Structure 1
Amino acid sequence: MEKRNAIAWFEIFCKDMDRMKSFYETAFGVELIPEADEEARMLIFPFDEKHGVGGCLSQMEGCQPGVGGTMVYLDADGDLDGTLERVWKEGGKVTRPRTPIPPHGYFAHFEDPEGNPVGIWSMS
């Protein structure tokens, strides 16, 4: 079995996307790639989609910069629903249910038993 990265995705939440775009592009010498859907505006950091861990600057309702303003997404490796079930059984709280992100799979958010927000992602 091919080993996968534990982290599948990260999001750095922003209020002023133009300011943050300039900051990260200048600080890291990269060009961020714009992407948007009905729920979020994103600027994607360049990455190898087949083997790499990706991430973006993100602007969406309910997600604020500052303390707790970065979301790490763990890879559910094709078992998003099973992972959510186990999160609930182990004392976690699902804060955003399975949500499609066509054509990039699905994501969900939960809080662990100590209140840490965590995202999970899966292609199916």
Structure 2
Amino acid sequence: MALDMYLEMGGSAKDWEMTKEILYELGMERLPEHRLDAVWYTLGNGEVFCEAEWMRPSRRTKEIIAEGDHGCSFLVDAEISFRINNSMYDEAVETMKSVLTRLTKSTDMLFVLSFQYEGVYAIRDRERGFEWFWNDPR
């Protein structure tokens, strides 16, 4: 069984390139690309599969879909879906936290992390910065 988490992100094309590098540096093995604007990764031990997709300017009209009390407002430029191997849940949570921590240190990306677009588990916005509330989703 797997759990799906979605990271909706807003930022520049430079931030997107850095995001792809961060995923690679954290040990994610890049799978063959199927499209120029999307990249697939899997972690070596199988705890997380992720698909990262950049929204072309023509598709960049999407507002945040995640429901909940997150208070963020930005247009979504990129989205990463994390499929978590339920048997490796704790490791996957640590991996996602590492990804988000690196994003906040290396990019200006704003983001909302949700479980199937319901219940928000982490955010980064201009006013509050990075907040992780995994044990108390909003």
Is the TM-score greater than 0.5? no
Q: TM-score, normalised by structure 1?
A: 0.35
Structure possessing the higher radius of gyration over alpha carbons: 1
Q: TM-score, normalised by structure 2?
A: 0.32
